[in-house]
Amino acid sequence: MRSDLIAQINTDHLAHNCRAIRARLQPGTRICAVVKANAYGHGLSIVAPALQDAGVDCAAVATLQEALELRSVGWRRPILVLGGALAVANERERRERLRAIAKYGLMLTIADLDTVHAIARMNLQEPIDAHVKVDTGMGRMGVLPEQASQLVDAIRACGSLRLTGVYSHFATADFELHELARRQVATFRTVLTDIGQRLLPGTVRHMANSAATLTLPEAHFDMVRPGLAMYGLVPAEHLGRGIELRPALRLISHFTSVKDLPAGHCVGYGQMFTTQRPTRLGLVPVGYFDGYIRALSNAAVVGTKAGDAPVIGRVSMDQIAVDLTDLPPLILGDEVVLIDDRPGRPNSVPALAKLLGTIPYEVICLLGERIQRIAVGSSCGIPARPATIPELVPANVTT
C-alpha cells in the first residue's frame, strides 16, 4: 500500500548528472558525492545504489549515524564523515564510535589536536583513515592555516591514525564574484605547500562543492564534492549555465476531497482566504509536517492533468486546499504534482525556493518522513512520468 505522498526519484537523472559533472573534470579527478541529510531529502536507500552504479568514487555524510546507514544500504566505497564524529564528553561512547569507524572502514575528519590526543589514548590495533580539514575562510569547523602543520605532525605521530586526505570548504563559491573564493583557494594552496613534505603519496586534496565544481576548475584538485548538483539542482541560477542538470525529484499526491463552496465561505485556519465566488475546492494530504510549509499559504500552485491550481488558505499540518474552479472537472484520486522535476515550472524546486525567499537546499531537505520515496526510470522499469501528464500552462485563476 502506497503512501498518500510519493517522491519519485529518477535514477536515470542521477546517472546523467554524474556524467555531466564528470565531463567538467580533468581525467583522474574523483567525485565524492555528498549524501548527507537523507541524500538531501531524496532518500539514501535509493540514491546511494544509483550513484554507486554511476561510478561515483566516494561519498560524504555529516554524522557517524549517517555513515552507518550508508553502509547498511550497500555502499561499498569510501565514506568521509564531515562532522566531528568524536566530539563527545563520554570516553566510553567515544571508544564505541571509534570501534564503529574502524569496523566499517570510515574516514574521519580531524580539525583539532584534542581529537588526535583522544584517539591516541585508545591504542587502536589498526589505524583509521583521517582527513584534515582546514578553515581557509569559512569560519566553521577546521584548523586555522597557521596551525595546520602542527596538526598534521600530531596525526603522523599517532599510531592509531593514517592521514589520507586534506580538505577545505567554500563560503561563497555560489556568488558570481569569486573574490573570497579565490582567496580561499590561494590559502589552501599555501597550506598544501607548507605541509607537502609531510604528506604521503596519494593523499587526497579536495575543496570544491557543487558551485566550485561548476565554475572554479582551479579548485578541483584531486577530488570534488558535489552535493546539490548531483540531484540536478544548483545553489544559484547562474551556476546552471553551460551544463544540463536534470532534477531527480518529483513530489506527487492526489485529491482526497473535491467539493463546492458558496461565495463568502472561509477556507482553512485563520480566515486567510474567503471565497469571492462559488468555488470548487480540492483537498490534498500534504502539510507543514511534510515540509510543505505555511509560507506557501495563498502563494504556491500545484499541477494537475487539467492545469495548474493555486493553493488557497493556510497550509495546515496535514492538508492544503487548492482552487479548481477554472479547471475542467477533477475527481478524487486524480494526481497532484506538488514539486515538479521540470525546471521551468512554477512548482519546481527553484521556483518554490524563490517564492519562499530561501535556497533549493532547504526546500528538499525539509521533505518529511511521511513521504514515500520510490525509484523511477529505465533502470527500475518504472516510467519517470505518466504519459498522460502534459506540459502545463499556469491557469488564469481569479478568486
Q: Scanning the structure block, which residue is given the C-alpha cell 541524500? A: 39
CA–CA dist 184, 170 (Å, integer): 7
Phi and psi at 325, nearest 5°, equal -55, -40
CA–CA dist 343, 306 (Å, integer): 20
Residues in CB range of 16: below 8 A, 6 or more apart? 244, 246
Sheet holding 301-304, edge to edge: 257-261, 279-284, 320-323, 307-312, 301-304, 335-339, 249-254, 6-10, 372-376
Out of 36, 167, 292, 361, which one is annotated catalytic? 36
What is the pLDDT, as a whole number, of residue 384? 73
CA gyration radius for the chain? 24
Domain spans in the chain, listed from the N-terminal domain onward: 11-232, 249-376
What is the pLDDT, as a whole number, of residue 362? 97
What is the pLDDT, as a whole number, of residue 385? 66
Fold of 249-376: Lyase, Ornithine Decarboxylase; Chain A, domain 1 (2.40.37)
Convert the pLDDT of each residue in 368-393 to its tens digit: 999 999 999 987 767 776 544 444 44
**Would you state the torsion angle of the CA atoms of residues 171, 173, 174, 175, taken in this order, to the nearest 10 degrees?**
90
> Dihedral sign, CA of 66, 72, 75, 80?
positive
SS3 64: helix
> Per-residue pLDDT for the chain (399 aa), expressed as one digit of tens each?
789 999 999 999 999 999 999 999 999 999 999 999 999 999 999 999 999 999 999 999 999 999 999 999 999 999 999 999 999 888 899 999 999 999 999 999 999 999 999 999 888 889 999 999 999 999 999 999 999 999 999 999 999 999 999 999 999 999 988 899 999 999 999 999 999 999 999 999 999 999 999 999 999 999 999 999 999 999 998 898 889 999 999 999 999 999 999 999 999 999 999 999 999 999 999 999 999 999 999 999 999 999 999 999 999 999 999 999 999 999 999 999 999 999 999 999 999 999 999 999 999 999 999 999 999 998 776 777 654 444 444 444 343
What is the pLDDT, as a whole number, of residue 388? 43
Domain 11-232: give its CATH architecture. Answer: Alpha-Beta Barrel (3.20)
Model-level pTM?
0.93
56 neighbors 39 (Cβ within 8 angstroms):
no
103 assigned to active site: no
Q: Which amino acid is at 247?
A: P
45 neighbors 5 (Cβ within 8 angstroms):
no
231 assigned to active site: no
Out of 103, 104, 133, 269, which one is annotated catalytic? 269
What is the pLDDT, as a whole number, of residue 396? 40
**Would you state the torsion angle of the CA atoms of residues 61, 62, 68, 72, taken in this order, to the nearest 10 degrees?**
-40
Angle among Cα 22, 198, 61 to the nearest 5 degrees reads: 40
315 neighbors 293 (Cβ within 8 angstroms):
yes
